[in-house]
Every structure is written in C-alpha cells, then in structure tokens.
Amino acid sequence: MELNELKKFEGATHSRKRVGRGPGSGLGKTSGRGENGQKSRSGASISPVFEGGQSPLFRRLHKRGFSNARFKTVYATINVGELNELFNDGDVVTPELLKEKGIIKKQLSGIKVLGNGILNKKLTIRAHRFTQSALEKIEESGSKAEVI
C-alpha cells in the first residue's frame, strides 16, 4: 500500500450545506432558521448571559468575597508651597493645626507633604509621610521634617 492509494472511508466527508436555494433543497425559504424571531435575523448574536430582559442570575445572587479596599490607607495631602503661604518663620506645623485652620478637611490615615511649590521660610513640619521632592525642598530652606 502506498500513500497515493489511501482513500477516505465512505461517509467521512459531507457536502457543504447550500441554504436558501429553493424548497426542493429542504433548506429553502427560512434556511433552517425556523420562523420569525431574534435568532432568525442576520447578525443576531445574543449573549449567553442574557435572559430575555429578566433580571440576570449574577444580579439576583448576593455579593460574596472579601476586599481590602475598606482598609486602604488614604492620606490628606498638602503641598510645600501652601505651607510657605500659610505659615510664618519658626512655626511648628502639625496635623492638628492644619485641621484647626481648615486647610485640610479630614485627617484620614495621616498627612502627606508633597513637593509642589517653593519653601522660603524655616518651619518645623510634623507629618506622617513626605515625598522625596518635599524632603529636598524642606532641607534646602533650612526647615525640619519630622515623621510622626
């Protein structure tokens, strides 16, 4: 037996379905799609999740699982430039003072000092976090940065 003598078994291949070619073909008129309805139209594709407008199963069931989002640390932020405008030479800037003056609304998880702006005055700044650029500007001006 040679490779050129190999043949497919009978019934192994099927002729292509030619739909919509008259009633004699058995697949004329509606082309095997049934009568009317959404699925009989061209381009119809319904998501397997779609339940005909009824409230879907994933919305009827309650949420399960756990998320750490409730415990995320969010800092109240203030820029170095704002501190320069609001305080005088030699002042000690604390979270309590910032809240008292109404500069920050909520203390949240703490205060974070950002490095936007210029600092010319000598201040003692007490905060929970400092950005690298903020620390550089504070040291340049001769101020002190204290981490709480």
pLDDT at 2: 94
pLDDT at 100: 87
pLDDT at 89: 86
Joined together, the tokens standing for residue 58 give: 């994933």
| CA-to-CA separations, 51 to 37, 48, 62, 67, 70, in angstroms, rounded | 15, 8, 18, 29, 33
pLDDT at 121: 85
pLDDT at 56: 93
pLDDT at 118: 87
pLDDT at 57: 93
Give the separation between CA 35 and CA 25, rounded to whole angstroms. 17
Q: Is residue 62 within 8 Å of residue 75, measured between CB atoms?
A: no
Structural element, H or E, at residue 132: helix 132-141
Residues of the chain with pLDDT under 50: none
pLDDT at 106: 81
